[in-house]
Amino acid sequence: MVNTKVSLSGLELDNPVIPASGTFGFGYEFAELYDINILGSFSFKGTTREPRFGNPTPRIAECPNGMINSVGLQNPGIDKVISEELPKLKKCFNKKVIANISGFSVDEYAYCCERIDKEEQVGLIEVNVSCPNVHNGGMAFGTSAKAAAEVTKAVKAVTTKPVYIKLSPNVTDIVEIAKACEDAGADGISMINTLLGMRIDLRTKKPVIANKMGGFSGAAIFPVALRMVYQVYEAVKVPIIGMGGVSSADDVIEMMLAGATAVQVGAANLVEPYACKNIIEELPKTMEKYKIDDLTSIIGGAH
């Protein structure tokens, strides 16, 4: 019997598989398809202080082995997440959830994190400083080590639960930003968010996406994500949640060998809603195939 359990800053997970924010709604939508209690946890849709309608459409573009999204942080706002979404989730998920919080100012991040920190079902807060689809917010805080540290400090000052900062790959040196977040008190790092990309429609000769550019994700970005997790693991002591193109149990193991303690699955859920279920079912067999008894023992094993 293999051991798939991992621990994220004291949050014990039955397995390291976590649907990524923005690809799993608030969980109850997927609970209609399968028992989501098999998941390690999941990260809910990026939440802001105010409700957001998101960006104009079209905001999705398909690509070989991936996709571009420019959703623009569509969400019902922190009040409704607390009063409506979390109660619905509680009916079908008896584990701790990861709260993904976004913002347009340091105060907004702190406000939303302080509110969500009080929710019993939240086990960990993932602070998204890396959304590439909004102006004057999101990624603006994640492309500067100083700004990322400022958000981290402000959030840590008002929360009690582990805080993981979700980093952008759209930077020259992601290691510098990860270190700045760790120095500012982050309990962990989530990485990577999407890569800024675009497509042009050959018939209209104009960008496919109304916002012109969007975040590229899916299997095509896996080697980039893996490389960045590997680099950051060498530089920080806090745990890493690795993500970016993970689509199979093999990918989960590869990501953990690079240095991830847990692994998020994003775009794969949009292609195959059972992706996480399939990966969780495959994981023990894949571990046996590669002679791994205990997943925790392989974290960073490639170094």
Residues known to be catalytic: 131
Interatomic CA distance for residues 8 and 225, integer angstroms: 19
Degrees, nearest 5: CA angle 289-37-281: 20
| Segment contacting ligand SIN by CB under 6 A, of 33-41, 66-74, 202-210, 224-232 | 66-74
Q: Is 264 in the site for ligand SIN (CB under 6 A)?
A: no
Q: 191-228 b/e with 16+ CB inside 10 Å = b?
A: bbbbbbbbbeeeeeeebbbebebbbbbbbbbbeebbeb
| H helical segments located in the chain | 28-31, 78-80, 86-90, 106-117, 139-142, 145-156, 174-183, 222-235, 249-258, 267-271, 275-289
What CA–CA distance (Å, rounded) separates 224 from 275? 21
Distance CA 303, CA 76 (A): 42
Give 206's strand partners. Answer: 201
Among positions 133, 159, 190, 264, the unique one binding ligand SIN when judged by CB under 6 A: 133
Q: Please list every residue from 70 through 109 that binds ligand SIN, using CB under 6 A.
A: 71-73
131 binds ligand SIN, rule: CB under 6 A = yes
Contact in structure between 295 and 256 (CB atoms under 8 Å)? yes
One-letter amino acid for residue 146 of the chain: K
Rule CB under 6 A: is residue 48 a binding residue for ligand SIN?
no
Burial class (CB in 10 A: 0-12, 13-18, 19+), 256: buried
Beta strand 6-8 pairing with 11-13: antiparallel
Stretch that binds ligand SIN, among 65-73, 143-151, 254-262, 270-278 (CB under 6 A): 65-73
CB 98 → ligand SIN: shortest distance, Å?
14
Site stretch for ligand SIN (CB under 6 A), options 91-99, 130-138, 141-149, 169-177: 130-138
Interacting span for ligand SIN (CB under 6 A) from 25-33, 68-76, 247-255, 275-283: 68-76
Nearer to ligand SIN, 46 or 245 (CB): 46
Minimum CB–partner distance for residue 243 and ligand SIN (Å)? 11
CB of 24 to ligand SIN, least distance (A): 12
Give the one residue of 16, 19, 22, 242 binding ligand SIN; rule: CB under 6 A. 22
Provide φ and ψ at 259, rounded to 5°: 140, 0
For ligand SIN, the binding residue among 40, 46, 244, 259 (CB under 6 A) is 46
Closer to ligand SIN at the Cβ: 6 or 221? 221
Contact code string over 195-234 relative to ligand SIN, x by CB under 6 A: --------------------x-------------------
Would you tell me which residues interact with ligand SIN (CB under 6 A)?
A: 22, 46, 69, 71-73, 128, 130-133, 193-194, 215
